């Protein structure tokens, strides 16, 4: 099916009165379908319209009341879903509440295999993989304990406002603009000091003292952060120019192990897993930048947002330009790599500016302010463009993948947020509805089966809630929601 014939999929789904929206919970309070690798596959979004779902109770929705809750779905093999109840499968195929969290969560973030949440009083909670200390716990490192949300230790006297995570490191920004880091990384991703490869509890990144950090993003082995004044800093593994400067100019080569530790699940490797391993094979040696270093190439710009893929980086400036740098082997920079180490991504002239950026493992997403809309709307929502790796249709469109293209199938929906995983993508509309596309393996899409979706499709089970925020790990997703009932 080509994109041109799919323009009304979203509206057609809504118009089918015979299909009842699925409740978020079964009458037992468990997910209505935990699914399995053998779940019946739905071959396309249009086929899914004719699937019937049995009625279920709204017990779970009533539990939400006026408080916020975190929902999770996807691959749970490392405990990243936070489900600690008998009857839950390792993988969960529809959004399910994370129990054990306080009712005042205001922000969520996902590492590759773990999850973070921030409360309105500035406390950080974590669950999922903890083999590298990324959960910030002094004790309780058994795999059984990983899946239980617990408060990060060492931040009791610090009010945190934002968090980010990679596969092995977690970071947080405090109200005073300080940056905090914990976990393990031989690539310098902690950003603490030369040759500091582990910190089980949060430590302040002292080299940024005096800076007011506003946002941080982490890739596989590198990090980016921007200040309230628009300065951009980078650190960690410096291969392929992903730091925005030549790492050889600021650090000596650091020899690593011949093979980096594996952070993938123990499940059989598919084509996607093999491609990921190919990217890791490049890391025989690394240039590690152990402390955040200013990106001088963008000193003339005010950077207001950053995003990291596995090996590439994006930065969004105050004037709406997107700069891309790093590895371009999958087309994830969205521009000819021979133009410049750091360059802007080109979009159709009718779009005045980009307003949101996101990066998956090897693909990139951007929301562009929509032409001919009010100033208020154009500053907060718009059309979604994608580029880069499209192995599992995570771009949500056909056509060339190494240049930005419009994600199809959204009809007139305007997006306010988007996130990318390893091979899936998630979007949030201005109506606070969630759409998903890409690989459905292990329940990554939250649609009740393992089917892939080539184009955006709404998660219909989310009736009765308003979605406030999205987060994507490699193979799992988080939603911060509030009841509308």
- Which pLDDT tens digit goes with each residue over 338-383? 778 999 999 999 999 999 999 999 999 999 998 765 555 556 899 9
Q: Please state the domain count of the chain.
A: 1
Query: Between 15 and 456, whose confidence is greater?
Result: 456
pLDDT bucket at 327, cuts 50 / 70 / 90: very high
Give alpha helix (H) positions in 355-422: 375-378
Q: What pLDDT was estimated at residue 298?
A: 98
Between CA 117 and CA 127 the distance in angstroms is: 9
- Which pLDDT tens digit goes with each residue over 63-105? 444 689 999 999 998 999 998 755 455 899 999 999 999 999 9
Q: What pLDDT was estimated at residue 142?
A: 78
- Which pLDDT tens digit goes with each residue over 188-240? 999 999 989 999 999 999 999 999 999 999 999 999 999 999 999 999 999 99
Between CA 390 and CA 472 the distance in angstroms is: 17
The CA-atom distances, in angstroms, between 304 and each of 106, 164, 307, 331, 475 are 21, 16, 11, 24, 27
- Which pLDDT tens digit goes with each residue over 249-305? 766 443 433 333 333 333 444 655 665 565 555 555 568 899 999 999 999 999 999
Q: What pLDDT was estimated at residue 463?
A: 86
pLDDT of 11 higher than 60: no
CA neighbours within 13 Å on the CB side: how many for 363?
31
Report the share of the chain in percent with pLDDT over 90. Answer: 67
Q: What is the mean pLDDT of residues 370-398?
A: 84
pLDDT bucket at 54, cuts 50 / 70 / 90: very low
Query: Between 381 and 32, whose confidence is greater?
Result: 381
Measured on CA atoms in the order 366, 44, 465, 127, is the torsion positive or negative? negative
Between CA 134 and CA 152 the distance in angstroms is: 9
| Structure token digits, residue 100 | 């054990």
pLDDT bucket at 138, cuts 50 / 70 / 90: confident
pLDDT of 45 higher than 60: no
Query: Between 123 and 279, whose confidence is greater?
Result: 123
CA neighbours within 13 Å on the CB side: how many for 432?
14
Query: What is the H or E stretch that residue 279 is in?
Result: helix 271-281
The CA-atom distances, in angstroms, between 484 and each of 66, 161, 163, 462 are 8, 25, 26, 11
| Structure token digits, residue 95 | 């959004």
pLDDT bucket at 56, cuts 50 / 70 / 90: very low
Contact 187, 286 (CB under 8 A): yes
Mean per-residue pLDDT over the chain, rounded: 83
Q: What pLDDT was estimated at residue 63?
A: 45
The CA-atom distances, in angstroms, between 52 and each of 20, 41, 48, 49, 449 are 7, 14, 9, 8, 13
Measured on CA atoms in the order 122, 123, 129, 131, is the torsion positive or negative? positive
Report the share of the chain in percent with pLDDT over 70. Answer: 75
pLDDT of 324 higher than 80: yes
Question: Which structural domain range is residue 206 located in?
Answer: 3-261+269-483
CATH number of the structural domain spanning residue 70: 2.130.10.30
- Which pLDDT tens digit goes with each residue over 154-174? 999 999 999 999 999 999 999
pLDDT bucket at 448, cuts 50 / 70 / 90: very high
Q: What is the mean pLDDT of residues 305-326?
A: 98
Q: What is the 8-class DSSP label of residue 268?
A: P
Q: What pLDDT was estimated at residue 20?
A: 36
pLDDT bucket at 122, cuts 50 / 70 / 90: very high
**What's phi and psi for 14, nearest 5 deg?**
-70, -30
């Amino acid at each position: 099916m080509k994109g041109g014939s799919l323009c009304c999929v979203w509206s057609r789904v809504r118009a089918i009165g015979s299909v009842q929206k699925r409740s978020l919970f079964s009458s037992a309070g468990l997910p209505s379908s935990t699914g399995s690798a053998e779940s019946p596959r739905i071959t396309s979004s249009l086929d899914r319209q004719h699937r019937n779902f049995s009625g279920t109770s709204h017990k779970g929705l009533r539990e939400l009341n006026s408080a916020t809750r975190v929902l999770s779905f996807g691959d749970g093999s490392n405990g990243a879903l936070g489900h600690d109840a008998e009857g839950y499968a390792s993988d969960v195929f529809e959004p399910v509440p994370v129990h054990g969290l306080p009712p005042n969560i205001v922000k969520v973030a996902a590492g590759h295999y773990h999850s973070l949440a921030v409360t309105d009083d500035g406390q950080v909670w974590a669950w999922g993989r903890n083999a590298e200390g990324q959960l910030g716990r002094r004790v309780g490192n058994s795999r059984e304990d990983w899946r239980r949300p617990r408060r990060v230790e060492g931040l009791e006297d610090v009010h945190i406002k934002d968090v980010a995570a990679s596969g092995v490191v977690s970071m947080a920004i405090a109200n005073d603009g300080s940056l905090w880091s914990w976990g393990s990384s031989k690539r310098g991703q902690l950003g603490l000091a030369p040759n500091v490869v582990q910190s089980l509890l949060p430590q302040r990144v002292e080299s940024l003292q005096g800076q007011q950090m506003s946002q941080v993003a982490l890739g596989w082995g590198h990090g980016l952060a921007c200040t309230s004044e628009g300065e951009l800093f980078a650190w960690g593994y410096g291969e392929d120019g992903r730091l925005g400067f030549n790492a050889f100019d600021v650090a000596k080569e650091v020899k690593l192990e011949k093979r980096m530790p594996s952070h993938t699940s123990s499940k059989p490797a598919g084509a996607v897993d093999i491609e990921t391993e190919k990217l890791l094979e490049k890391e025989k040696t690394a240039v590690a930048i152990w402390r955040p270093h200013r990106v001088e190439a963008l000193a003339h710009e005010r950077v207001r947002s950053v995003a990291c893929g596995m090996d590439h980086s994006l930065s969004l400036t105050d004037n709406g330009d997107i700069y891309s740098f790093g590895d371009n082997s999958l087309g994830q920079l969205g521009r000819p790599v021979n133009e410049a180490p750091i360059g802007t991504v080109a979009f159709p002239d009718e779009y005045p500016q980009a307003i949101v950026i996101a990066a998956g493992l090897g693909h990139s997403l951007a929301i562009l302010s929509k032409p001919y809309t009010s100033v208020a709307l154009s500053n907060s929502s718009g059309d979604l463009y994608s580029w880069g790796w499209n192995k599992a249709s995570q771009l949500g469109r056909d056509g060339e993948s190494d240049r930005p293209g419009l994600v199809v199938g959204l009809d007139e929906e305007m997006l306010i947020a988007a996130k990318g995983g390893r091979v899936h993508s998630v979007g949030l509309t201005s109506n606070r509805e969630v759409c998903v596309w890409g690989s459905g393996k292990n329940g990554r899409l939250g649609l009740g089966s393992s089917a892939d979706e080539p184009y955006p499709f709404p998660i219909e089970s989310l009736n009765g809630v308003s979605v406030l925020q999205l987060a994507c790990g490699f193979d799992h997703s988080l939603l911060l929601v509030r009841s509308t009932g």
